[in-house]
Amino acid sequence: MSARRIAIVAVAVGAAVLAWWFFARPRPAPPSIVLITIDTLRADRVGAYGAGPGRTPTLDALAAEGVVVEDAWASVPLTLPSHATILSGLEPPHHGVHDNGTYVFPPEPPTLATLLGARGYATGAFVGAYVLDRRFGLARGFAQYDDAIERRTSGASVLESERRAETVTSAAVSWIKAQTGPFLAWVHLYDPHAPYDPPSPFRERFEGRPYEGEIAYVDASLAPLLAAARERAGDRLVVLVTADHGEGLGDHGERTHGFFVYGATLRVPLILAGAGVPRAEKRAGPARSADILPTLLALAGIAPPAGLPGSDLLRGPRPREAYAETLYPQTLGWAPLRAFRSGSLRLIEAPRPELYDLSDDPGETRDRFAERPQEAERLRAALAAVRAGEREAAAGPADAATTERLRALGYVAGAMPGAVAADAKDPKDALPLWQRLEEANWAAARGDHAAAVPVLRALLAEEPGNVAFKRALSASLRGLGRAREAAELLGSADGDATAWHERALALTEAGQIDEAIRSEDRARALNPLLPEVHNHIGVLQARKGRLIEALGAFDEAVRLDPNNVRAHTNRANALRSMGRVSEAREAYLSATRIAPEDADALNGLGVLAVQGGATDEAVQLFRRVLARDPSHAEARLNLAVAEARAGRPDAARIELEQILRGPGSSDVKDRARRFLRDLGY
Ligand SMILES: [Zn+2]
């Protein structure tokens, strides 16, 4: 009896040992993942998708060693909502982000970053445009979110609301090189987005085809990024490249994207390669952006969250259905568009709905809605089912500075669209108006407001109630210095915080400070979450000498938008005026962490250095400002003070004489003249 028991124990021990050996076999390390999203990249402009060789050699080489998913579609032709889908696996009705600049990704859905971060991955994101700033919610889960894009709000420099691919990839490369374990790096490259302006030598090589030049440039910039990732992760690396949407390039009359939901702006490349990915295969689609998260999680050996619509593109069931939408036309007062695909059939729901059969009409040129009513009805019911669980729109942070930057990127950002009017125009019918508005926006973004104004006036004559037209016209009138007219145009604004704020800016420019404060108070009451409203209130209160009120407003602005350089320097200036030196210094440094050469911040730090007796440090700071902007008269005057304090009156005199010869306000010149006299010259 005891022998039997012993035998059983022995068997049990043996089994346990076997099991131990089984589980202790070295398991492969979790793969590192590089997710690359190239903005505005049409699938058919990539070599691996039939564009021909020579344009995208890096992507084509990646495709040759991995899988090319054909017939891949984004859910929405807009940057922020599409990235929300890529990163969360949720379709727009379920993540609630429908447009750029007006929505925030909600705080609870798991994303690629939160899921991999929870498994010990290092997580870093490197984005190329303001539309993906952390304010809009996609930073959650990323330990590092590099969105330090210098923002300017006037003139040609607004275009700097994006940064070149090389800047983004070099930040990503430095971060990747510092990793010691598995990592997720999301790299977003904005260059192919309009305006098309490839750098040399791509500008010359693609003369007359600047969009393709931008694509070729981005492709070239990927090579060092992929090399660094391979060096760090070895054969435990997965790379996935896709786009957030395509570009119309004139298809269906749409030059850019966002306005329609045809394949021209929704078909995207989807290439993946590396650990666990078959080599040199083409997969027939259809595939969706929502399939990216389940596919990457499967490669990392992680089960996706329950209830997601997407599937693992390598081993899961082949998707047959796809949702798409754009609510962008609604921003302009027109009807939104939604689409549903089942197999080769695509329904576009609009005031005049359309039905296409991609099997013999991939360009969606032959509307079959009238011919095939039963199939159209079936797709319409399926579309309604997707929307059944639609979530409330997430709170929107749009304000005039956001709007200004987005306008520079070619978008009209407005208040969150309300209910659709029953008689809202079908975007197909509004296309000519949209094309003219786009022309005006581009002219305004170039600084050519004189060209924009007559176009906008004509548009407003056709749709006198169109708030998007009114605000664009008001902005261009301000650009021409016609501030009073600009304010009057928005005088009847009801209910829209951004319009009240824009009115306040116009009133300030017209010198009506008290009325501007009242207008801004209304904006703040309507939406207390707009950083530029608080920033502007601070500026106005400071002009009135009310520094405590000003400081409170700047505090709120930087709390709402920690990347806002101007709000940091304004806050620092207020603190300095109040004699709170060390806090002022900290605030200037907050500005230079985002924009290292920001003139106002360096000038402010220089003033503090002079006051603290560190004249040599001050001289260096003022010279840095002047190296970039020799016409900065205030910095030059400060430089003269620092030189004099350092016992170099001759050096001071040279600077003061230069101020008197150059541009600059009469106030600065008066002070320079007095200073020269005091120095004995
Ligand atoms: Zn985009």
How much distance in Å is there from the Cα of 79 to the middle of ligand 1?
3
Q: Are 55 and 45 in contact (CB under 8 A)?
A: yes
pLDDT at 381 over 50: yes
On whether the CB atoms of residues 382 and 340 are closer than 8 A, the answer is yes
Residue 666: pLDDT band by 50, 70, 90 thresholds?
Answer: confident
CB 582 within 8 A of CB 601: no
Summarize pLDDT for 212-233 with one digit per residue, the tens: 999 999 999 999 999 999 999 9
- What's the CA-to-centroid distance between 514 and ligand 1, angstroms? 40
| Ligand 1 center from residue 189 Cα (angstroms) | 9
Write phi, then psi, for 232 (nearest 5 degrees): -80, -45
For residues 531 and 135, give the distance between their C-alpha atoms in angstroms, rounded to a whole number. 11
Q: Please give the average per-residue pLDDT across 398-408, as a whole number.
A: 58
If you measure from the C-alpha of residue 599 to the centroid of ligand 1, how many angstroms do you get, rounded to a whole number?
Answer: 31
Averaged pLDDT for residues 251-260: 94
Confidence of residue 496 (pLDDT cuts 50, 70, 90): confident
Q: According to the model, what pLDDT value does residue 17 have? A: 47
What spacing in Å lies between the alpha carbon of 244 and ligand 1's midpoint?
A: 5
Q: Is the pLDDT of residue 6 over 60?
A: no
Write down the pLDDT at residue 177.
Answer: 97
Structure tokens at 279: 């080599």
Average pLDDT of the residues in 320-340: 93
Mean pLDDT computed over 450-456? 96
- For ligand 1, a single-atom ion, which residues have Cβ within 5 Å? 39, 79, 244
Give the integer Cα–Cα distance in Å for 392 and 508.
36
Ligand 1 centroid – CA 394 distance (Å)? 20
Distance of CA 412 from the midpoint of ligand 1 (Å): 14
Query: How many whole angstroms from 577 Cα to the centroid of ligand 1?
Result: 42
Q: Does residue 15 surpass a pLDDT of 50? A: no
Ligand 1 centroid to Cα of residue 188, in Å, is: 10
Asked if pLDDT for residue 678 goes beyond 90, the answer is no
Whether 126 contacts 188, CB under 8 Å? yes
Share of the chain residues as helix, strand and coil, in percent rounded to the nearest 5: 55, 10, 35
Average pLDDT, rounded, for the chain = 88
Output the six-digit token pair for 206: 């693609």
Predicted local confidence at residue 5, as pLDDT: 45
Query: Using CA atoms, how far apart are residues 559 and 546, in angstroms rounded to an integer?
Result: 20
Provide the 8-state DSSP code for 137: S
Identify the bridge partners of residue 283 per DSSP, sorted by sequence position: 69
Helix (H, G, I), strand (E, B) or coil at 73: strand
Q: How far is the CA of 76 from the centre of ligand 1 (A)?
A: 10
Mean pLDDT, rounded, for 561-583: 90
Q: Alpha-carbon distance 581 to 588, whole Å?
A: 11
**How remote is the CA of residue 194 from the centroid of ligand 1, in Å?**
10
Q: Report pTM.
A: 0.80
- Other beta carbons within 10 Å of 454: 12
